[in-house]
Homo-oligomer: A and B are copies of this chain.
Amino acid sequence: MSESLNVGMIGYAFMGAAHSHAWRTAPRFFDLPLAPRMTALAGRDPERVAAAAGKLGWDSSETDWRRLVERDDIDLIDICVPGNLHAEIAIAALEAGKHVLCEKPLANSVEEAEQMTAAAEAAKAKGVYAMCGFSYRRTPALSLAKQLVDSGALGPIRHVRAQYLQDWLTDENAPLTWRLDKTKSGSGSLGDIGAHIIDAAQWVAGSSITGVSAIMETFVKERPVGGDFVGLGGVGGADGPKGPVTVDDAAMFTARFAGTAENPGGAVGVFEATRFALGRKNAMRVELNGAKASLAFDFEDMNSLWFYDAADGPNSGFRKIQATEPEHPYTGNWWPVGHGLGYEHAFTHQVVDLVGAIANGEQPTPSFADALRVQRVLAAVEASAEDESRWTTV
C-alpha cells in the first residue's frame, strides 16, 4: 500500500467513535493515496483513554493532547472535544506542522475562529492543511444537491429553508450535560445543530448569508445535575439538585444571501434549530427553491434527495431520488443501488476527501475560512437576538 498518514485523535465520545470508524473504514472501500494509521488517542483519564484506544482501534494512548502535537510520528491531529478547546489545540497543532481535522463549530467565538483561520492560512503556505468537520456535506444525497445547484439546474435561487429539529431536551428532567454549559459548548442548539444547517445552506446554495434577524429561547432554565447519560441527552433525577442552563434551547432566524451575477437579488432564508421539536429525532432539513427547479433534503430520510424540475412540465413533481446510484457522490464504492448508507458514512467520506487533498497538496473543504463564515453567522444571530431582533449584517 501507499505511504502512511499517522493520525492522532483527541476525544473519544460520540464524535470520537464516529471518527475512529471513519479512519478504520475509509481505506477498505476507497483507494486512498495515503494509508491512514490510527497511531494515538488522547484523553485525560489514563484508564479510560487506554480502554477507548483498544476498543476503537488506536495503537496507543496519551493523557495530554500536547503529547500528540509533540510526537514526530503523528502527521494529523483530529480534534473531537468540546468547542472551548478547539482554538488552542488546532493552533498548536498547525504550528507544529500537523494537518488538522477539527470538529464543528470551529470555535466558541468569532475571535477564536479568526485566530484559527489565520493559523490555517499560515500553515497552508507550508503545505499543512486544516479542515472543519461539517460532515453532512459528505452525505451522498446532500452532496448530490450541491452538484445539482452547481450544474445550474435550479437557476436563480429565491428561497432557502433550513431546519434542524431534534427533541432530546423535551423532557424537563434531562440532565445538565456539557452541551448545556455555555463555557464549554459556546451555545446550545445554535452552535450544535444550527451550525450544520448554516454551513449546508451556504455551501449548497453557493452563496453566503449577509444578514439575519433572530430570536432565541431557553424553555427550561434549570436542569438536574448528574444523572445517567443516554444518547445525546440522558436520564436525570427529577428530585435532585439543579443547575442553570446557560445556552439556547432553540434559535430561529430569517436571513438574506449574497446576490450573484446570475441572481443579483439573492435568496431569502428561514432557519430554525431546536432540541424541543418533539417527535423530530434528527430532522436536518434543507430546501432550496430556484426559478427552474427545487430540491429538498431531510436527514431522517438520508438516502433520498427530493428534486422538482419545472422542465418536466405539467407532469412535474418532487422526485424521490435514491442517492445510491454509481453516478452519485461516494456511493459507487459501497453497495448496489437502493442499499442505503447510514449516518457514519459521511465521516468516512470526510476522511477520503481529506486524505486525498493532503496527498494532492490541495486545500480540503470546508476550510477554516469556510467555517469562520459559519461562525460569523452564529455571532450575528446571537447579536440580533440580543438587540430586539434587529437586522444584523454578517
Contacts and interface: CB of A to CB of B under 8 A. Distances in A.
Contacts of A322: 281, 300, 317
B319 A312 contact: yes
Contacts of A217: 265, 268
A127 interface: no
Nearest to A388: B391
Contacts of A254: 213-215, 252-254, 389
A125 interface: no
Interface in A309-326: 310, 312-322, 324-326
Copies held by the complex: 4
A293 B278 contact: yes
A181 interface: no
Nearest to A314: B327
A337 interface: yes
B294 A338 contact: no
A215 B268 contact: yes
Interface stretch (A50-58, A112-120, A194-202): A50-58
**Secondary structure type dominating chain A contacts:** mixed
Contacts of A384: 389
Interface residues of A, number: 102
Interface stretch (A18-26, A75-83, A96-104, A358-366): A18-26
Contacts of A282: 336-340
Interface string A4-15: 000000000010
Contacts of A274: 158-159, 289
A36 interface: no
Contacts of A353: none
A250 interface: yes
Q: Identify the interface centre among A172, A274, A389: most chain B CB within 10 Å of its CB.
A: A389
B316 A294 contact: no
B338 A344 contact: no
A26 to B, nearest CB: 12
A339 B324 CA distance: 18
A301 interface: yes
Contacts of A20: 28
B318 A279 contact: yes
B168 A336 contact: yes
Contact of A340 (B279, B300, B314, B325): B300
Given A322-B300, A342-B345, A294 B310 contact: no
Given A252-B254, A345-B342, A390-B390, A294 B318 contact: no
Interface in A263-300: 265, 268, 270, 272, 274, 276-283, 289-294, 299-300
B289 A268 contact: no
A65 interface: no
16 contacts: A1-B54, A21-B28, A28-B57, A158-B219, A159-B277, A166-B338, A213-B213, A213-B215, A215-B391, A278-B289, A278-B291, A278-B308, A306-B317, A316-B321, A317-B321, A318-B319
